[in-house]
Structure 1
Amino acid sequence: MIIGVPKEIKNNENRVALTPAGAKELIKKGHTVYVQHTAGDGSGFPDAEYVIAGAKILPTIEATYEIAEMIMKVKEPIESEYKLIKAGQLLFTYFHFASYEPLTMAMIESKAICLAYETVEKKDRSLPLLVPMSEVAGRMAIQKGANYLEKPLKGRGILLGGVPGVLPAKVLILGGGIVGTQAAWMAAGLGADVTIMDVSLPRMRYLADVMPANVKTMMSNEYNVRTLIKDADLIVGAVLIPGAKAPHLITRDMLKDMKPGTVLVDVAVDQGGCIETCRPTTHENPTYIIDDVVHYCVANMPGAVPYTSTLALTNATLPYAIQLADKGWKKAAQDNADLVPGLNVINGEVVYEAVAQAFNLPFTPVEKYLA
């Protein structure tokens, strides 16, 4: 198969979908890998390393899309890329369709095969291609939140871990999944007073067993959320419903109950956000303020640490990419059930129910294409 790796062009997105080591593994299997000129530079992988691995360098994004049977990306295509996508072409990337209707409609119109990293799912309901970036984003949420709590950045002027004789900051984490767990570990390690909220008692029992003493758990419901936000200094939104729009756990009216300078970090922003006042921001302009509350809502947080993120992502995606290249998307999905829920749009039809529901679109069961 011919694989194309275009350069990411979303604002301040420095990751690349495939490392030179990953390219070499695909080439060893007999596949051809084309990488757009400077695609890996932001992650610390220059063209020369891809050439040594056996990949071919193409000068433009247009040439990369034109030649490839499978496109490997990190972030969803943006508007300038829509016209480059061909019917029948396989796109293997993060899409987060449910949060952005124009992208969904463009991919339907393209008649491409859209296989979304974020909805590839194992039998145990884990999301193997979302986990590595969730781990990065969860840890970054605390790193960024601690930074924006500083007064020059309009935060409360509070040190996350406190000092002897001064209480630490209170960190509230909404969601006890991968993002929430990683955020809690980081916040706890810095000495903060941490509370994780979730709706699953088994999950909270697990977290209570493994977390240090400065991490507490509480059932997530509106009453409890409204109570805890009054004292929180840093609130991390870490809610995920696979493939669907995130629910709003913090509504517009709740901001008035927060202390001035409270920092909100909504990691769920690429699925619509679990904070009603959240809107996607970029690393270039990461924050905005509403009712004296600082909102950090960068939609590609791991893009700020591209070396770490690219290695972590390729570690997870490469085994699936090899299967797709070896067998084609249909046979690969037939042989590996993990890939089936990853299929979101096929030949102009929405085959992932949550995406169809998000925009009231016709839904076609994916089995139509795998029978």
Structure 2
Amino acid sequence: MIVGVPKEIKNNENRVSMTPAGVHQFVAAGHEVLIQKGAGLGSGITDEEYIKEGAKILDTAKEIFDSAEMIVKVKEPQAVEIEMLKEGQILYTYLHLAPDKPQTIGLIEKKVVGIAYETIEVNRKLPLLEPMSEVAGKMASMMAAHFLAKPYGGRGMLAGGVAGTHSAKFVILGGGTAGINAAKIAAGLGAKVVVMDVNLERMRYLEDVLPKNCETIMSNRYNIMNEIKDADAVIGTVLIPGAKAPHLITRDMLKLMQPGAVIVDVSIDQGGCVETSRPTTHQDPVYEVDGIIHYCVANMPGAYARTSTFALTNATLSYGLEIANKGWKKAALENPAIFKGVNVYDGHVTCKPVAEAHELPYTDLSLLIQ
């Protein structure tokens, strides 16, 4: 199979979807790998490193899209990239379709095979999302602590305080991979940390593994309203696989919060779990609503590109190789994880939460590829 890796063009997206080690393995398996010139530079990977492992370097994204049978990316295709896709082409990347109807319609119209990293599922876990959730969770507490500084509009609270003063209070919505990593960093900074979740078993685990300046509280509207009243930072990490994130904090709840408090909405890729959230960029990361600072960068791990690239490709490589080795249909039929990753195919939406989010017809993939 001819596998193409274009340079990411989303604002400040410095990750790349394949490392030299990945090229080595694809080439060893008999595939041809095309890399766009400079695609790895944001992650500290040179064209020469790719060439050494057998990749061919092409100058433009159009050459990549024109030649490749499978496009491997990091972020969802931008409008100009959707235009370059071809019918039947495999697109293997983060898609996050539920909050993005224009992209969904674009992929339907192009009749591509859209395989989303974020819906590949194994034993109720999302192995291709987890490494980026680790990065985003750790970043979330770092960014919250940063924007709490008065020059950036925050309350002027130091996360850990100092002797004789209160430490900041961080409320984390969701105790999954992003949530636990946010809690670790916030706790390490010395903040008082409250992790809210609906799963008692998960909260028992968190109580065991997190330090003593963390506590868990059952997540419901009443408790959320109480906990955010004196919060200095609120970090939203809620995720329903493939679906639009629910709004756990509504616009009217912002008035309960202290002026200058910071919200970091890690869920923004799936629409955000705060009603007033909207996607921002690393170039312009925050805005204010009703006195509350919102940080809603939609590609947080792109800021720590080298770490994120290697963490992501460690997870994506084996599935990408399986798709290339077997062809996507055989791979999907033989591997339920890949089957769940197929969001669109031949003009059909094959991921039910995406269809429901946009009120589009849903087609069971098994009816299309048996």
Give the deviation of 1:369 after TM superposition. 3.0
Residue 52 of structure 2 aligns with which residue? 52
Residue 278 of structure 2 aligns with which residue? 279
Q: Distance in 2 between matches of 1:290 and 1:361?
A: 32
Matches within 5 A, 1:277-356: 277-356=276-355
Matches within 5 A, 1:66-77: 66-77=66-77
Residue 103 of structure 1 aligns with which residue? 103
Residue 62 of structure 1 aligns with which residue? 62
Matches within 5 A, 1:7-18: 7-18=7-18
Residue 217 of structure 1 aligns with which residue? 216
Q: Does 1:180 align with 2:193?
A: no
Contact 1:248 1:275 in 2 (8 A): yes
Residue 161 of structure 2 aligns with which residue? 162
Residue 141 of structure 2 aligns with which residue? 142
Residue 6 of structure 1 aligns with which residue? 6
Contact 1:333 1:370 in 2 (8 A): no
Q: Distance in 1 between matches of 2:175 and 2:45?
A: 34
Runs of 4+ aligned structure 1 residues displaced above 6 Å come to none
Give the deviation of 1:21 after TM superposition. 1.1
Gaps of at least 5 residues in structure 1 are none
Query: Which amino acid is the alignment partner of residue 233 of structure 1?
Result: D
Query: Which amino acid is the alignment partner of residue 263 of structure 1?
Result: V
Residue 40 of structure 1 aligns with which residue? 40
Q: Does 1:194 align with 2:193?
A: yes
Residue 367 of structure 2 aligns with which residue? 368
Give the deviation of 1:147 after TM superposition. 0.4
Contact 1:154 1:294 in 2 (8 A): yes
Q: Does 1:115 align with 2:112?
A: no
Q: How many percent of aligned residue pairs carry the same amino acid? A: 58
- Once the two structures are superposed, residues 104-153 of structure 1 have per-residue CA deviations (whole angstroms, 9 ceiling, x without a partner) of 0000000000000000000x200000000000000000111110000100
- Once the two structures are superposed, residues 201-248 of structure 1 have per-residue CA deviations (whole angstroms, 9 ceiling, x without a partner) of 111111111111111000001110110111000100000000000000
SS of 1:98's equivalent in the other structure is coil
Query: Which amino acid is the alignment partner of residue 190 of structure 1?
Result: L
Gaps of at least 5 residues in structure 2 are none
Q: Distance in 2 between matches of 1:60 and 1:197?
A: 46
Query: Which amino acid is the alignment partner of residue 167 of structure 1?
Result: H
Give the deviation of 1:291 after TM superposition. 1.2
Q: Distance in 1 between matches of 2:160 and 2:366?
A: 52
Residue 90 of structure 2 aligns with which residue? 90
Residue 247 of structure 2 aligns with which residue? 248
Query: Which amino acid is the alignment partner of residue 184 of structure 1?
Result: A
- Once the two structures are superposed, residues 233-266 of structure 1 have per-residue CA deviations (whole angstroms, 9 ceiling, x without a partner) of 0100000000000000000011111111100000
Q: Distance in 1 between matches of 2:182 and 2:238?
A: 12
Query: Which amino acid is the alignment partner of residue 286 of structure 2?
Result: T
RMSD: 0.6
Query: Which amino acid is the alignment partner of residue 274 of structure 2?
Result: I
Q: Distance in 1 between matches of 2:368 and 2:43?
A: 36
Give the deviation of 1:292 after TM superposition. 1.1
Contact 1:269 1:279 in 2 (8 A): yes
Contact 1:120 1:128 in 2 (8 A): yes
Contact 1:330 1:369 in 2 (8 A): no
TM-score, length basis structure 1: 0.99
- Once the two structures are superposed, residues 31-61 of structure 1 have per-residue CA deviations (whole angstroms, 9 ceiling, x without a partner) of 0000001000101001111011110000000
Give the deviation of 1:82 after TM superposition. 1.3
SS of 1:83's equivalent in the other structure is helix
Q: Distance in 2 between matches of 1:96 and 1:201?
A: 28
SS of 1:114's equivalent in the other structure is strand
Q: Distance in 2 between matches of 1:171 and 1:87?
A: 47
Query: Which amino acid is the alignment partner of residue 87 of structure 1?
Result: E
- Once the two structures are superposed, residues 140-172 of structure 1 have per-residue CA deviations (whole angstroms, 9 ceiling, x without a partner) of 001111100001001011110111211210000
TM-score, length basis structure 2: 0.99
Q: Distance in 1 between matches of 2:299 and 2:358?
A: 23
Residue 78 of structure 1 aligns with which residue? 78
SS of 1:30's equivalent in the other structure is coil
Residue 230 of structure 2 aligns with which residue? 231
Q: Distance in 2 between matches of 1:115 and 1:368?
A: 17
Residue 30 of structure 1 aligns with which residue? 30
Residue 258 of structure 1 aligns with which residue? 257
Query: Which amino acid is the alignment partner of residue 281 of structure 2?
Result: T
Q: Distance in 2 between matches of 1:215 and 1:366?
A: 43
Query: Which amino acid is the alignment partner of residue 20 of structure 2?
Result: P
Give the deviation of 1:327 after TM superposition. 0.5
Q: Distance in 1 between matches of 2:191 and 2:368?
A: 50
- Once the two structures are superposed, residues 6-29 of structure 1 have per-residue CA deviations (whole angstroms, 9 ceiling, x without a partner) of 000011100000011111111111
